Chain A
């Protein structure tokens, strides 16, 4: 195995049947990640001793070829040499996507469509390691916001959940090195337990069309892949040190990889991150620090024919939650909303006190694959995850230092897939998966369980196929079936059980009556069918269309079914509902891509109709000894979300460029003819960039981020009697913060230290003008302003 090649799609059908030697092979060589043309790549046909090089647009052609099978070689300075087999049959055009830097086995793709994306007929964006490294000290949700149409829902600035086209939490699948993350993703204040530094690239697929990962990703799929392994004798690594002025934070990340030409590899990575209290322009945000530690190992063997991978990662996050956001009853909430400043402001500290979260997450994965000649590739994978979450509330007396929430979620998954890719114009992939999950809520907290103990069983099967009709048209089909069973043991207060009228409908679930509490054993089964169909059409070199349709179903998550208790940070009682059914999404989307020398444009639209959309809304107030609390209950309605995401790049000349990323989304509750809650605002980011290779490879970019006031929101305000002022008061939980505009500056230079190592120095300033603002999708917006100016200095050493 001297060369590592994979051909997904080779030649093009031409109707000419006659054997002659006047065919032309032409094509384009692109960078796999961003589709930029690769200039000066050498194309060499060994058997004929013919060669050529690509021009500035990455274009090449070789004339006078016979209709025959040929092997040609593509070489470029920054890439390994690639060999490609192709059957010449008339004039043949193809696109070669090369991977810069470190090459992975099967990343050379020969395709009919001029696209740099992995899936051919979905709305997909790829973030490269350069971008990921810049966010090394931040969160997954922060880096994903670089993609138009992806926003985040935050609890402060360290709990950041990605939102894809208005959907988040259980509606998004996060894959890390082939493992579907199971980390209690149902809660809004549960950020993905991912150390961004373990990822070498991130693919974001909008909508539920990537059925190989799961059928319930109504929002989309985020795929984090480790850095590519190159098959040569090499030892390389990367270290990143970052310092932040805001939060006086620092971050250290380092990774080292040893590879062997024969295919063995071993890599290790570790990161440490520490922040103290962040600062808004006018005051410290007390108790918003962060302390995170991560560690991962990745090793195995890979060749074209077979290989295996063993992966382990560990993450420990300690996250402080704004002290002023912990409140007692609705009167405290009114005081907080009406007060322009948080009610607790202290001097800067690194200490993290209650309220806080402490989450550890382990991922263990092992995978192997074997490729059979004229058949395809078989993959088998087992993974185990352990997620342990503590949440600390402000408590008194002996329980002061005891966690209020102590949940351990263990997940085992076994999956296998077979990919049939021996035919050049059609591939099939089918797969099976089985999973077992156990949740354990430790009763020693002395607080009634927020999420009950449960066992969950999953089984799924899928088939997907890609059909290349001709050089310009790709068609995808997919079908998936999932079975989920949840078997929970939950205590209900007898009064709550009766108030919800469960005593009529679910009396048979009660297995023990303890007087004031009932032990119940709900067992629910869900059968879900999902389907996907897509087509991409390359009209010509410049214009490309993609259409697709996705059907997906999502079973209600444990939080939606079983929530039953008081949320202090929101001063509300949240109630799940045993009657919830699965939700069903029908999503259609269309994408138009345009590309010429200076301009690249991508416009993505979607329309997502969700039957029985599960959401939480206020349904009244309840009196307790603490005072009044609004009750938020999980409900279902029919909802529609639609929007447009635009990305445009305009290169003025070699040094200057302009960029625009804009997104517009609207969410409607069709049943009630009202707006949907928690929809991202209209946003446009415009940047002006300058780069000059001669000035130490300087790259700099000034970014203007404009976020408009969300004017479409449901009115969930309610009136409540405030005893201390003896007045009825309107609690305004609905009104959205005003439009805000922020300026950011990014710049970096690269110094060459030796032949194989370089140092990249980055200076990034966010919120340059120290603007006061509040973001609608930050749950702490009732209590405090968002972050003020931050100056970040980053040193990145590649060796």
Chain B
């Protein structure tokens, strides 16, 4: 019986001690502001030879939350015109907004943007390349169709695509694989 009594004492003591060690009651947990979330993609198209830049923007301020991304296109594009394009990626959940471009530039061999247009409203060419000479796509040129038309421009960012697969370095997404980090569809008018 003596051993049992001692055991029960140890038992009780251990319960009391461990129960007291959980002292985080009362204080509230701290919120998590997601650091790597991309809320905003802004493509700025500047006509070669000058003119007013046109912006295509997708902005989803609640990240994976229920609100859909808001797509805005500042104005129509001109026919038969070449634009210099550049992308800006932002995390606007932080204040001031954090620029994400840098992270992609640092790991440019693992990222590639793809540009597609429906109804043949435009063609694209890459203007920046990673250390292996493969395209990245933060910089690009866009050439509009020769006739007035309307269609969609789709910009897709893939993480860890297989850049050496057939057609991928020419901007073909079909064989790219990888995971989609951004996908935005912009309805545009060529006039």
Contact in complex: B30, A443 (CB < 8 Å)? yes
Residue numbers in A under 8 Å from B39 (CB-CB): 625
Residue numbers in B under 8 Å from A449 (CB-CB): 29, 32
CB of A514 within 8 Å of the partner chain: yes
Residue numbers in B under 8 Å from A382 (CB-CB): 11, 14-15
Complex CA gap A637/B116 in Å reads 44
Contact in complex: A443, B31 (CB < 8 Å)? yes
Residue numbers in A under 8 Å from B8 (CB-CB): 368, 380
CB of A622 within 8 Å of the partner chain: yes
B169 to chain A, nearest CB (A): 17
Given contacts A394-B160, A516-B93, contact A453 B29 (CB under 8 A): yes
Contact in complex: B118, A489 (CB < 8 Å)? no
When C-beta atoms are compared, the residue in chain B nearest to A499 turns out to be: B66
A328 to chain B, nearest CB (A): 3
Residue numbers in A under 8 Å from B32 (CB-CB): 443, 445-449, 491
CB of A47 within 8 Å of the partner chain: no
Complex CA gap A440/B182 in Å reads 31
Residue numbers in B under 8 Å from A306 (CB-CB): 4
Q: List A327-375 residues whose CB lies under 8 Å from chain B.
A: 327-329, 331-332, 335, 343-344, 366, 368, 370
CB of A694 within 8 Å of the partner chain: no
Residue numbers in A under 8 Å from B69 (CB-CB): 623-625
CB of A455 within 8 Å of the partner chain: yes
B109 to chain A, nearest CB (A): 12
CB of A526 within 8 Å of the partner chain: no
Give B127-164 as 1s and 0s: 1 = Cβ < 8 Å from A's Cβ atoms.
00000000000000000000000001010101110000
Complex CA gap A512/B22 in Å reads 23
Complex CA gap A344/B177 in Å reads 8
CB of B61 within 8 Å of the partner chain: yes
Contact in complex: A396, B29 (CB < 8 Å)? no
Residue numbers in B under 8 Å from A499 (CB-CB): 65-67
Give which listed residue, A328, A494, A519, contacts B180 with CB less than 8 A: A328
Contact in complex: B116, A724 (CB < 8 Å)? yes
Interface residues on B, range: 35 or more
Give which listed residue, A329, A441, A455, A494, contacts B183 with CB less than 8 A: A329
CB of A522 within 8 Å of the partner chain: no
Give B22-52 as 1s and 0s: 1 = Cβ < 8 Å from A's Cβ atoms.
1011001111101110111100000000000
Contact in complex: A519, B28 (CB < 8 Å)? yes
CB of B191 within 8 Å of the partner chain: no
Residue numbers in A under 8 Å from B64 (CB-CB): 565-566, 573, 624, 629
Contact in complex: B4, A724 (CB < 8 Å)? no
When C-beta atoms are compared, the residue in chain A nearest to B64 turns out to be: A566
Give which listed residue, B35, B158, B178, contacts A446 with CB less than 8 A: B35
Given contacts A519-B31, A724-B156, contact A394 B4 (CB under 8 A): no
Contact in complex: A626, B181 (CB < 8 Å)? yes
Give A310-325 as 1s and 0s: 1 = Cβ < 8 Å from B's Cβ atoms.
0000000000000000
Complex CA gap A368/B10 in Å reads 12
A340 to chain B, nearest CB (A): 14
Residue numbers in A under 8 Å from B82 (CB-CB): none
Residue numbers in B under 8 Å from A394 (CB-CB): 159-160, 179
Q: List A74-121 residues whose CB lies under 8 Å from chain B.
A: none
CB of A377 within 8 Å of the partner chain: no
Give which listed residue, A368, A438, A512, A516, contacts B62 with CB less than 8 A: A516
Residue numbers in A under 8 Å from B183 (CB-CB): 329, 331, 625-627, 723
Q: List A383-403 residues whose CB lies under 8 Å from chain B.
A: 384, 394-397, 399
Residue numbers in B under 8 Å from A370 (CB-CB): 4
Q: List A502-532 residues whose CB lies under 8 Å from chain B.
A: 511-512, 514, 516-517, 519
- Counting residue pairs across A and B whose Cβ atoms lie within 8 Å, the total is 163
Complex CA gap A441/B148 in Å reads 55
Complex CA gap A55/B11 in Å reads 50
When C-beta atoms are compared, the residue in chain B nearest to A452 turns out to be: B29
Contact in complex: A397, B22 (CB < 8 Å)? no
CB of A726 within 8 Å of the partner chain: yes
Give A398-416 as 1s and 0s: 1 = Cβ < 8 Å from B's Cβ atoms.
0100000000001010100
Contact in complex: A397, B103 (CB < 8 Å)? yes
When C-beta atoms are compared, the residue in chain B nearest to A370 turns out to be: B4
CB of A44 within 8 Å of the partner chain: no
B1 to chain A, nearest CB (A): 8
Complex CA gap A301/B4 in Å reads 11
Complex CA gap A331/B154 in Å reads 13
A461 to chain B, nearest CB (A): 19
CB of B173 within 8 Å of the partner chain: yes
B179 to chain A, nearest CB (A): 4
Complex CA gap A491/B59 in Å reads 22
Residue numbers in A under 8 Å from B67 (CB-CB): 495, 499
Given contacts A397-B36, A436-B19, contact A512 B28 (CB under 8 A): yes
A627 to chain B, nearest CB (A): 4
Complex CA gap A38/B35 in Å reads 67
A724 to chain B, nearest CB (A): 5
CB of A326 within 8 Å of the partner chain: yes
Contact in complex: A441, B29 (CB < 8 Å)? yes
Contact in complex: B107, A625 (CB < 8 Å)? no
Residue numbers in A under 8 Å from B93 (CB-CB): 516
Residue numbers in A under 8 Å from B68 (CB-CB): 622-624
Residue numbers in B under 8 Å from A626 (CB-CB): 180-183
CB of B76 within 8 Å of the partner chain: no
Complex CA gap A627/B116 in Å reads 15
Residue numbers in B under 8 Å from A512 (CB-CB): 28
Give B65-80 as 1s and 0s: 1 = Cβ < 8 Å from A's Cβ atoms.
1111100000000000
Contact in complex: A384, B36 (CB < 8 Å)? no
Residue numbers in A under 8 Å from B18 (CB-CB): 384, 412
CB of A293 within 8 Å of the partner chain: no
Complex CA gap A726/B185 in Å reads 10
Complex CA gap A436/B21 in Å reads 12
Q: Could you say which of B32, B40, B154 has the most chain A C-beta atoms within 10 Å of its C-beta?
A: B32
Contact in complex: B107, A726 (CB < 8 Å)? no
Complex CA gap A512/B30 in Å reads 11
Residue numbers in A under 8 Å from B24 (CB-CB): 438, 440, 453
Given contacts A328-B159, A366-B7, contact A396 B180 (CB under 8 A): no
Contact in complex: A397, B107 (CB < 8 Å)? yes
Contact in complex: B154, A396 (CB < 8 Å)? no
Residue numbers in B under 8 Å from A496 (CB-CB): 62, 65-66
B11 to chain A, nearest CB (A): 5
Contact in complex: B60, A624 (CB < 8 Å)? yes
CB of A561 within 8 Å of the partner chain: no
Residue numbers in A under 8 Å from B60 (CB-CB): 623-625
When C-beta atoms are compared, the residue in chain B nearest to A517 turns out to be: B31
Complex CA gap A345/B173 in Å reads 19
Complex CA gap A359/B102 in Å reads 33
Give A427-445 as 1s and 0s: 1 = Cβ < 8 Å from B's Cβ atoms.
0000000001010110101
A435 to chain B, nearest CB (A): 11
Give which listed residue, A414, A441, A514, A723, contacts B154 with CB less than 8 A: A723
A446 to chain B, nearest CB (A): 5
A721 to chain B, nearest CB (A): 8
Contact in complex: B181, A328 (CB < 8 Å)? yes
CB of A545 within 8 Å of the partner chain: no
Contact in complex: A332, B28 (CB < 8 Å)? no
Given contacts A382-B15, A399-B35, contact A329 B180 (CB under 8 A): yes
Complex CA gap A519/B31 in Å reads 8
A-B CB contact pairs (8 Å), 29 listed: A328-B179, A331-B180, A366-B7, A368-B11, A382-B15, A384-B14, A410-B22, A414-B15, A438-B22, A448-B32, A455-B25, A493-B62, A493-B66, A499-B65, A499-B66, A499-B67, A511-B28, A516-B93, A517-B31, A565-B64, A566-B64, A568-B179, A624-B60, A624-B68, A625-B39, A625-B69, A626-B180, A723-B154, A724-B114
Nearest 4 A-B pairs (CB), nearest first? A328-B180, A328-B179, A627-B183, A499-B66
Given contact pairs A496-B66, A514-B31, A568-B179, enumerate 15 new A-B contacts (beta carbons under 8 Å).
A301-B3, A329-B180, A332-B180, A368-B7, A382-B14, A397-B103, A445-B32, A446-B35, A453-B29, A489-B28, A493-B66, A565-B64, A625-B39, A625-B60, A724-B173
